[in-house]
């Protein structure tokens, strides 16, 4: 291999501009691939992390919107039933025996934590204006075990909610809208018209505007009092698993066991996951296209090199070089271009990714980030260099095969 390598190196060095152009094609393709896949996967990871930290793996609740057969259909299921002037039923969202269900679920070894709670729409009074939002009655210790509320507190402590029965922990975005801070009192009104004044004992920030701008936490007993419900009234059971990938398989089992709607995090965040899939398709499509274009450039350059080196090839064959030896020479040239171009592309991609992650970015009220998330996982760099070398190897194979089949007698005759 030393002699073919020496000849291949001589060919590359003798045409430096041509060689550099070929390498730059690979460098640009790999560099853009690394930069794009690092940014897109970083965004996907951030989106998934935010979804997982702000929503349960499985949520059990009473789905009052589910289709149900009417009494007439139950009495005469095979007949023709005509029902006039149907009206919705005033059905409670209560999950019966919620505490017992939660205790049974906690015994599952795959479960990390369970938090029974009740959630209601409320209006936050801001002078003459009423802002729409939600209030969740929780056991704040259990909620912290599921969502790590302590790490998301911006003012106050979760323990302040335990010792203050009329306290409320408010989302930072909501507090900003109400111009409220820790120690202030806010007035809330339920859809049924019941009004109550609560004290802000802390502010939290999940990082998602749809939560921080509308949600508050209070004690279960307080929210039951606000809604004028009994002590057993609970509307949701939130579950966190040790492995969130098991949620999709476990949710139907829980629904069958307890008879209440069980929604896994993938179903609840289907729109977000669809966006992740679309971004991945676009990222890899554009990146692969760039590398294929670079491969065509290498093919054209090697093809032109072979046309210019026909007499040299004929002389080599006349001296005893076989077709496989000639093929090795041009395949070595292709692989050298691919390897050096890929390594330079990795460096360019890393540099671009470092510049992107340092660039300031204001997520506004939608998402609380101050810079774009970038993924620096080694596997994408490995994929980049492997794909770059494979592309250039394929691009160099056809010209090298053509060179191996050259008939030296016809070339030397003129």
> For 228-281, how does the pLDDT look when each residue is reduced to its tens digit (9 = 90+)?
888 889 999 999 998 888 988 999 999 999 988 998 888 887 777 777 788 778
Is residue 155 a contact partner of residue 347, using CB atoms and an 8 Å limit? no
Task: Give the integer Cα–Cα distance in Å for 291 and 276.
Answer: 23
In this predicted model, which residue has the larger pLDDT, 15 or 242? 242
Specify the pLDDT at position 79.
67
Whether 315 shows a pLDDT value over 90: the answer reads no
* Alpha-carbon dihedral 151, 154, 159, 165, rounded to 10 degrees: -140
- Residues 223 and 121: beta-carbon distance below 8 Å: no
Residue bearing the bigger pLDDT, 410 or 338: 338
- How high is the mean pLDDT of the chain? 82
What's the whole-number mean pLDDT along residues 304-331?
77
Cite the DSSP H helix spans in 148-246. Answer: 149-152, 159-163, 172-178, 209-212, 220-226
**Predicted local distance difference test score (pLDDT) of residue 237:** 92
Residue 90 backbone zone (phi > 0: left; psi -120 to 50: alpha; other: beta): beta
Q: Which of 115-124, 206-215, 293-302 has the highest mean pLDDT?
A: 115-124
Residue 160 to residue 232: CA distance in whole angstroms: 24
- Residue 202: pLDDT band (50, 70, 90) is very high
Q: What is the pLDDT of residues 351-395, one digit of tens each?
A: 999 998 888 876 665 566 677 888 888 888 888 888 888 887 887
Long-range contacts of 155-160 (CB under 8 A, 24+ apart): 155/181, 155/182, 155/202, 155/203, 156/182, 156/201, 156/202, 156/203, 157/202, 158/202, 160/201, 160/202
Taken as a whole, the chain contains a residue count of 414
| pLDDT for the residue numbered 201 | 93
Q: Which residue has the tokens 């291999």?
A: 1
Q: How far apart are CA 120 and CA 225, in angstroms?
A: 12
* Cα separation, 352 vs 206, whole angstroms: 29
Is the pTM higher than 0.75? The answer reads no
286, pLDDT greater than 70: yes
Top-ranked range on mean pLDDT: pick from 7-16, 48-57, 196-205: 196-205
Burial class of residue 80 in the structure, from the number of CB atoms within 10 Å of its CB (0-12 exposed, 13-18 middle, 19+ buried): exposed
Query: What are 349's two structure tokens?
Result: 């991609």
Q: How far apart are CA 290 and CA 3, in angstroms?
A: 33
Residue 69 pLDDT: 58
Confidence of residue 23 (pLDDT cuts 50, 70, 90): confident
Cβ contact 34:217 at 8 Å: no
* Least confident window among 71-75, 143-147, 215-219, 278-282: 71-75
Measured between alpha carbons, how far is 266 from 273 in angstroms, rounded to an integer? 7
Range picked from 30-34, 47-51, 98-102, 189-193 for highest mean pLDDT: 98-102
* Percent of all residues in the chain with a pLDDT value above 70, rounded to a whole number: 88
Task: Give the position of tokens 């302040």.
Answer: 160
d(CA 211, CA 173): 8
Q: Collapsing DSSP states into helix, strand and coil, what is residue 72?
A: helix
DSSP H or E segment with residue 16: helix 16-54
Can you point out the beta strands (E) in 276-359?
none
| pLDDT of 78 | 66
Query: Which residue, chain included where needed, has tokens 């109400």?
Result: 178
Within 10 angstroms of residue 239's Cβ, the number of other Cβ atoms is 27
Statement: residue 68 has pLDDT above 80:
no
Banded pLDDT at 90 (limits 50, 70, 90): low
């Amino acid at each position: 291999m030393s002699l073919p390598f020496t000849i291949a190196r001589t060919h590359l060095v003798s045409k430096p501009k041509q060689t550099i152009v070929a390498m730059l094609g690979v460098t640009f393709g790999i560099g853009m691939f690394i930069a794009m896949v690092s940014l897109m996967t970083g965004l996907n990871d951030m989106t998934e992390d935010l979804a997982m930290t702000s929503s349960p793996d499985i949520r059990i609740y009473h789905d009052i919107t589910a289709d149900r057969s009417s009494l007439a259909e139950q009495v005469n299921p095979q007949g023709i039933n005509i029902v006039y002037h149907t009206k919705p039923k005033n059905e409670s969202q209560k999950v019966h025996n919620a505490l017992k269900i939660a205790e049974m679920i906690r015994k599952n070894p795959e479960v990390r934590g369970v938090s029974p709670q009740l959630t209601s729409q409320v209006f936050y009074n801001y002078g003459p204006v009423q802002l729409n939002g939600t209030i969740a009655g929780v056991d704040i210790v259990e909620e912290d075990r599921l969502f790590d509320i302590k790490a998301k507190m911006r003012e106050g402590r979760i323990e302040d909610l335990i010792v203050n029965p009329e306290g409320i922990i408010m989302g930072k975005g909501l507090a900003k809208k109400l111009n409220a801070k820790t120690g202030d009192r806010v007035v809330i009104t339920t859809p049924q018209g019941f009004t109550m004044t609560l004290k802000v004992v802390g502010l939290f920030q999940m990082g998602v505007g749809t939560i921080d701008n509308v949600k508050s936490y209070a004690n279960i007993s307080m929210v039951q009092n606000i809604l004028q419900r009994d002590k057993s009234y609970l509307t949701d059971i939130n579950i966190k698993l040790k492995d969130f990938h098991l949620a999709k398989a476990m949710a139907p089992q829980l629904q069958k066991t307890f008879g209440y709607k069980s929604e896994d995090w993938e179903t609840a965040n289907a729109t977000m996951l669809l966006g992740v899939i679309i971004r991945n398709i676009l990222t890899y499509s554009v990146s692969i296209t760039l590398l294929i274009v670079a491969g065509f450039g290498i093919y054209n350059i090697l093809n032109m090199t072979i046309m210019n080196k026909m007499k040299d090839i004929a002389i080599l064959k006349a001296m005893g070089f076989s077709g496989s030896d000639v093929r090795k020479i041009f395949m070595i040239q292709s692989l050298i271009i691919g390897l050096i171009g890929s390594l330079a592309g990795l460096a360019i991609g890393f540099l671009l990714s470092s510049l992107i992650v340092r660039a300031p970015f204001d997520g506004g009220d939608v998402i609380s980030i101050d810079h774009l998330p970038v993924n620096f996982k080694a596997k994408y760099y490995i994929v980049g260099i492997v794909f770059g070398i494979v592309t250039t190897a394929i691009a160099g194979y056809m010209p090298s095969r053509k060179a191996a089949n050259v008939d030296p007698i016809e070339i030397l005759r003129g």
